[in-house]
Amino acid sequence: MMVVGLGKQTGAESVHSDGLGNMARNLPANAQVVLDKSRILFAIPCVETLTMKPP
């Protein structure tokens, strides 16, 4: 979410241009760029299920 959400269209295009097969491999490096260039103090996770019911 950091790369696509905070990166807006440019971040999303960058991640998706790597191709679906390379996305998982390249995501940590892309996330590190966001962490190096942004001031992120903490994150709040959001867990959703298919039925949208609490786990």
Domain ranges in the chain are 1-55
Rounded alpha-carbon distances, angstroms, from residue 18 to 27, 39, 44: 10, 25, 27
Q: Per-residue pLDDT for 8 more than 80?
A: no
CB–CB of 23/15 below 8 Å? yes
Q: What is the pTM of this model?
A: 0.57
Please name the residues in contact with 14: beta carbons below 8 A apart, sequence gap of 6 or more: 3, 7, 30
Q: What is the CA radius of gyration of the chain?
A: 13
CA dist 52 and 44 (Å) reads 18
pLDDT band at 9 (very low <50, low <70, confident <90, very high): confident
